[in-house]
Amino acid sequence: MPLFLKPIFHEKVWGGSKLQQFGYHLPDEHIGECWGISAHPNGKSEILNGPYAGQTLDQVWNDHRELFGEFPSKDFPLMAKIVDAEAPLSIHVHPDDSYAYENENGQYGKSECWYIIEAEEDAEITIGTKASSREEFEQQIKEGKFQENLRKIKVKPGDFYFIPAGTIHSIGAGIMAYETMQSSDVSYRVYDYDRKLNNNEQRTLNVSKALDVMEYSSELPNIVPQNEVIENHNCTHVVSNDFFTIVKWEISGTLNYMKPREFCLISVLEGNGKIIIDGEIFEIEKGTNFVLTSEDLDSVFEGDFTLIISYI
């Protein structure tokens, strides 16, 4: 039986209210993130169905590892969320696994991939810097010139971008993005537009740690999604690396789905229909997030919808 999950909402100074379009009831008008699938301590998804209803994903991961093919990692390895950037996110960077393990209480580092759901005209993201070394970037910070040396990219709905750990980046205003990432909540901010929290304090910057983990490359991280048609449905293979594999499915009709690994994370970004697993029918719609487990052997999708499926 798949594990259907209750979304978790995080208020952000840059957040908005567009996540309502997924059928979510938002607790605040400045919701920046919906954690759709998460076992992270800062947001544990609650299971909505079956024998584990009411438990959190991390509990089931720890107590019933057989549902995940006895996956050897101590912690659930992936997270899926939707970001609504009414204002730009901070300019920040994430550490890799080794740095996070040593400096962030054994957490994962964070490599991530973005799928652009919505983007206003001329909306842009930041990926990388033109600085070629720590010394050069640090000097640009001191001179107040580092922002003009960041790489900006205009985006449109349907675009994918891979953000490896160590890459300075930001999502700009007017963008909604679906993120698949390592299960981590570690960010080192370099700049945050001098914004203040509700208590009138400025959000913390982490420039020293950011400089420790930043990578400097003359080229942008590059992925080239590959499209193919399977059973008359469009399948886009986005990225596959040591951290995750991501596939986008645009389904219209019936798809007999063969699960590629012991467990998969699935989010419905558009449309509605159902998934039939071992003869049992489950309705799914825009905003549904769930995990297929090792027990879910025969899966059939029926309907018209767009899915993002990720796995190790």
Return the bridge partners of 16, or none. 31
Catalytic residue from among 189, 195, 203, 261 = 189
Q: CA-CA distance, 31 to 144, in Å (whole number)?
A: 30
Which secondary-structure segment (H or E) carries 251?
strand 245-257
DSSP state of 67: G
Phi-psi sector, 28: left (phi>0), alpha (psi -120 to 50), beta: beta
Tokens matching residue 172 = 């700009």
Q: CA-CA distance, 136 to 152, in Å (whole number)?
A: 19
The verdict on whether 189 is a catalytic residue reads yes
Beta strands in 111-244 (DSSP E): 112-119, 124-129, 150-154, 160-163, 169-171, 175-182, 188-191, 226-230, 233-240
Consult the annotation and say whether 112 binds a ligand.
yes
Q: CA-CA distance, 79 to 44, in Å (whole number)?
A: 10
Tokens matching residue 95 = 């550490």
CB atoms within 10 A of CB 213: 22
Angle at 225 between CA 100 and CA 269, to 5 degrees: 80
Return the bridge partners of 255, or none. 301
**CB neighbours of 136 closer than 8 A, spacing ≥ 6?**
216
Q: CA-CA distance, 132 to 12, in Å (whole number)?
A: 32
Consult the annotation and say whether 30 binds a ligand.
no
Q: CA-CA distance, 138 to 174, in Å (whole number)?
A: 29
Which secondary-structure segment (H or E) carries 302?
strand 299-311
DSSP state of 22: G
> Which residues fall in the annotated binding site?
94, 112, 169
> Which residues fall in the annotated binding site for Zn(2+)?
94, 112, 169
Which residues are identified as catalytic?
189
